[in-house]
Amino acid sequence: MKVWLTNSQVCLTICKLYCILLQTNQTQIDELLMEQTTQKKKKPDIIYMGASLIYFIMFFKGRHLLVESDLPMGLKVGISILIVLSFITLLFLSVLRIRKRDELERRIQFEALLIAFPMTVIFLFTFSQLELFIPYFRDDWTYLHVTAFAVVFYYVGLILARTRYS
């Protein structure tokens, strides 16, 4: 792996090493060098942000087309499949992002899912039980609401996990 340093970083490293050389041993100098070369600026993940934007545009525009227009049934099914495929792509990219993270971040993400999944199952179970005896429940609540609550539960789990490990 190649690491490119700017001239100012090289000069700063040389100055630090020269000043510290008189006071330290070789292992401390090696640690300082490794620290300087392994620090990377975090770049935004353009592919993930683009996939998120595409999904949200497809979701809201597709939902509008599916509900408000008189399109043929085959086209509505095609739009629904495209929305689901864009969501699957977003989930796949999320998994790839988490795999690139360090061990602590992976543990935080896993714990957030450990909190969100049971909460979503409980919500879905409650939803299905209420649907049995409340006649107007289907008009007010849909599975889209369950999906939205799953995302909310994930972020609740993420907040709880981050506070635990901070």
- Whole-number percent of the chain with pLDDT over 70: 72
DSSP symbol at 136: T
Residue 94 to residue 88: CA distance in whole angstroms: 10
For all residues of the chain together, what is the average pLDDT? Answer: 78
> Do 95 and 143 share a domain, yes or no?
no
Q: Total structural domains in the chain?
A: 3
> Do 59 and 72 share a domain, yes or no?
yes
In a domain, 124, yes or no: yes
Side chain identity, residue 137: F
> Do 89 and 134 share a domain, yes or no?
no
DSSP symbol at 80: H
> Do 91 and 108 share a domain, yes or no?
no
Band of pLDDT at residue 5, cut at 50, 70 and 90: very low
pLDDT in tens, 53-78: 898 899 889 888 888 888 899 999 99
In a domain, 86, yes or no: yes
In a domain, 2, yes or no: no
